[in-house]
Amino acid sequence: MKFFFEIFEYLDTYHAYKGFYYLNKRFENLFTNSNHPTKIEFSTMSRSNFKNYYIDIILPHRYQIKLLHLSNPFSVNAIFSPPNIISEFSCLETLILDNLESKYLDEILNYLTFLPKFHSFTISFANPIECLSHLFTKIVSLSKLKYFKMTYQTKDDCILSIHFPENDRSSIEYLIINGHFLFKSLNNLFRCFPQLHHLSMDSMVTFHSNNMNEELPLIELKHLTYVSFKFEHIINFYDFEKIIKKFFYYVETLRLTVKDDETYLHAKRWQTLITSSMPHLRVFDMNHSIDIEDYDDRDYHSLVSSFYSSFWRERQWHFLHRHEWSALGPDKRVLSSSNLHRTQYYRLDLLYDYCNFGMFTEMNLNLVKHVYTDEILTLIRSKNYFPNVIQLTILSSFKISDDSILPIINHLIPLNQLTQINFLSTCDLLNGLLKLLCFTSNLNSLTFNSLLMGECTVKLLPQNEKFQYIASANKIKNLHILHKCSLANLQLLANLFSKVEYLKIEIIEEQITDIIRFLLIKHNHILQNLFLLCISQSSIKYLEHFNNLIRSECLINDYFIKYVNDDLYLWW
C-alpha cells in the first residue's frame, strides 16, 4: 500500500484518480479511506469528469485538502456552492484562483477568515475590477495570511485610488501586485503591511503632476529585504528617493524597470543614495529604456559610462548598454544590469547593438523558459543557445521558405521540449506551421493570430502527407485563434488538431450558428475531446441564442454557460 502512495506522490491528484480509482474496489477504497493531505490542482477536465471527481474525491476529502488551485472559469461556482462550504476546508493552506469573476470575491473572503491554517492566497480576475480599497480591506482582515499575489486590470485602464484601513495591520510577508498601482499609495501600504519581506509591483502608475508632497510616516521595515518595481509612468526620481530614504534601509535586493526618465541614469546620485539609505543592498538590477531620438548620443554615453566606476565594479554590479532597433515600435536605448539576464524570459528584437561597461558576465541562458523574438531570423542571428526553453513567442509573420533553417532553430532551441508556441502575427499554414510542428512533438498549447491559407489550401491540404502525419501525431490540447475564423477554416483546423480539449476563438458573426452546431453536434467524431469553448469578443445577446440552439437541437445535455468580460464560455 505504501508503494502506491509513493506513486501517487508523483502524479497530480486528478490523474491518479483517473488512472486508478475505477480499476477495482481495492483502489477505490484506497482513495476513499486515505487520510493523506491532498493537493487539488483543478486541471482541465470535462463537466462529467468533474462531477465524478467532485463527488468521489473533493467533497469527501474537503477536510484534508491543503492546496486548491482553480483555473476553469466555472470551477469556483462548481466547488464553492453554497459559499459557506469554504469554511469546511479546515486544512486549507493555499488557495489559487485564476480567472475569477470579481463579484464572487466578497463571499469567498468572508469564509476564508474561518480557516485556521490558511496562509497563501493567489488570485487573478477575469473581468476588470472597479475598487481596490474594499479588496485590500478584506485582505488585511485575513489575520494569518503570509503570501498574497493579485493580478488584475481596471476598466479602460483607469487609475484607481487606494485607501488602506487606518488602524488595521496585515500579517502578509510576501506581496505581489500585478496591475496598476498608484505610486502615492505606497506610504499607506507600508504603514498597513509592516511585516513585509518581499514586495513586487509590475505596473506602478501616477496621476499627471502628482508629486508626493505629503510628509511620510516614520516606519522601520526591518523585514523588507526584496523590492521589485516596474514604473509604467514616469515616477519623479526625487519622490522615489523619499520612499527609499524612509523605507528601504534593510533592503538587500532592488529591481527596477524604468522608461523615459533620464534622471535614473545619474550614477553618482544612485551611489550617494545607496551608501546612505540602503547600506545592506547586495543586488541592484535596473532596466532603463528611452527613445533614441529623445537623447543625444554623446550626452547619453556620458551618463551611462558613469556606471563603470569602482563603486559599481567593487559590488560586481555590471551593466550592459544596447540599442534596440525594432520594426514593431520606437527604437530604444537600453541600459540594463547583467543580472537581469538571470531571468525566465528573454526578448530578441530585430537588432541589438551592444556596448559593454565593466566586466560583463556571461548571460545565464539556462534559466530562460520563454523566448520572445520578432522573427525567426532574429533568433538565428543571435546564435544563443536556450537549453531549457519550453515556450516560444514569435511577434512578426512566420514563414519557412528554406527547410534547412529548421535544424538550425532546433540547435538553438530544442523544439521537442516546447509545450507552448504563440504566433502573434500572420502564420503560413503550409510553409510555416506544418513544417515547425514536425519538430514539436510535445506541444500542448498553440496560439496564432491569423493563418495564411488560400481556398485551394483548405480543399487540398487534408490529403497532404505532412498534414496527415501531424494530425495523427500532435498532442495539442489548448488552441487559441486570435482572428475571426470561418467555418471552412475551422473545419480544416479541427481535422488537424482533433485532440483539442479547450478552444478559444473569435467567430465570423454571420456563421456563428453553423460553427456552434459544428462544434457541438453529437455525431461530430472529429473533436471528441473538446469540452471547453470560449467565444472571444462576443456579444451578450448570444448567451440566450446559444442556450436556445443547444436545447432545441439537443446538441449537448449537461452544460454550463456564462458571459464574462466580452467572452462567452461553454463547458460540458
CA–CA gap between residue 238 and residue 235 (Å, rounded): 9
- The string of DSSP letters for 323-377 reads EEE-TTS--EEEEEEGGGGSSSEEEE-SEEEEEEESSPPPP-GGG--EEEESSHH
- Per-residue pLDDT at 292: 82
Backbone φ and ψ of 168, nearest 5°: -90, 150
CA–CA gap between residue 423 and residue 48 (Å, rounded): 33
- Per-residue pLDDT at 438: 94
CA–CA gap between residue 134 and residue 365 (Å, rounded): 42
pLDDT tens-digit series, residues 154-190? 988 888 889 999 889 999 999 999 999 999 999 999 9
CA nearest to 423, candidates 401, 392, 452: 392
Instruction: Kindly report the number of other CB atoms within 10 A of residue 59's CB atom.
Output: 12
* Sole residue written with cell 488551485: 69
Helix-strand-coil split of the chain, %, nearest 5: 35, 25, 40
Give buried/exposed letters for 204-235 (b at 16+ CB in 10 A, else e): bbbeeebebeeeeeeeebeebbbbbbbbbbeb
E strand or H helix at 65, and its extent? strand 65-70
CA–CA gap between residue 432 and residue 317 (Å, rounded): 42
pLDDT tens-digit series, residues 518-570? 999 876 679 999 999 999 999 999 999 999 999 999 999 899 999 999 999 99
User: H helices within 375-480, ranges in order?
Assistant: 376-382, 405-412, 434-437, 455-460, 465-473
Strand residue runs (E) in 138-265: 147-151, 174-178, 181-182, 198-205, 226-231, 253-259
- Per-residue pLDDT at 214: 62
Residue pair 555/521 in contact (Cβ under 8 Å)? The answer is yes
- Per-residue pLDDT at 260: 86
Report how far apart, in Å, the C-alpha atoms of 21 and of each of 11, 18, 60, 426, 548 are.
13, 6, 14, 45, 37
Question: Cell digits for 7?
Answer: 506513486
- The string of DSSP letters for 181-207 reads EEGGGHHHHHHH-TT-SEEEEEEEE--
- Per-residue pLDDT at 474: 96
Q: Is pTM, for the whole model, over 0.85?
A: yes
SS3 sequence of 265-310 = HCHHHHHHHHHHHCCCCCEEEEEEEEEHHHCCHHHHHHHHHHHHCH
Backbone φ and ψ of 77, nearest 5°: -60, -40
- Per-residue pLDDT at 11: 59
CA–CA gap between residue 280 and residue 524 (Å, rounded): 64
Question: Cell digits for 229?
Answer: 518595481
- Per-residue pLDDT at 167: 87
3-state SS assignment for residue 78:
helix
- Per-residue pLDDT at 358: 40
All residue ranges of the chain with pLDDT < 70 are 1-12, 14-15, 19, 21-37, 208-217, 325-329, 338-345, 349-364, 454-457, 523-524
Strands 319-325 and 351-357 come out as antiparallel
CA nearest to 335, candidates 379, 384, 381, 284: 284
User: What is the largest distance, in Å, between two alpha-carbon atoms of the chain?
Assistant: 78
